Amino acid sequence: MAHASEKRTQLRGLFVYQRMALEAACKKLAVPRSTANRWKAEAAEQGDDWDTARAAIGLGDENFSSLSKKLLEDYLLQHQATMDLLREAKDMGPRDRADTLASMSDSFNKTMNSFKRLAPELNKQAVQLDVLQRFATFAQTRFPKNVPALLEMLEPFGEELAKVR
């Protein structure tokens, strides 16, 4: 069964923006799961990774941001506590102390790099989405009669933004 491109856009919107499970979005729109999987794969081939876009929405979510900060804070507290224990350890030889410091340094660098690697692309998309949402809110407040036309353009434009690397 052929589906209009509107259905594909609606499905993407439910999955990405409303963070609905793909299976539930398929049921809501009466789209076979196999069709949704194909659309998702085709979009990814064209540079629009629905999962990355969905993650970017999550990155802008306050809960995700708070969780990330909390995880980093917890790691840093543990790192500091271990450093304090190392400083107090009187029975530890120089080689063991050096090995422990090297291991902690490696762990610290890996943790910081993983946070840096997580953020760039997702952060870029989160900023793009934030700008689109702010623009929509601005338009709703200042130019309410133009909102229907704007909404018709925003979601497809969001798909275009997702393709930009």
For 13-36, b/e burial (b = at least 16 CB within 10 A) is bbbbeeebebeebbeebebeeebb
What confidence category does residue 11 fall into, taking pLDDT thresholds of 50, 70 and 90? very high
pLDDT at position 100 over 80: yes
One DSSP character per residue, 98-114 reads: HHHHHHHHHHHHHHHHH
What confidence category does residue 107 fall into, taking pLDDT thresholds of 50, 70 and 90? confident
Please report, for residues 56, 85, 93, 111, the alpha-carbon distance to residue 88 in angstroms, rounded to integers and kept in the order given.
Answer: 43, 5, 12, 25
CA distance 68 to 120: 14
What confidence category does residue 61 fall into, taking pLDDT thresholds of 50, 70 and 90? low
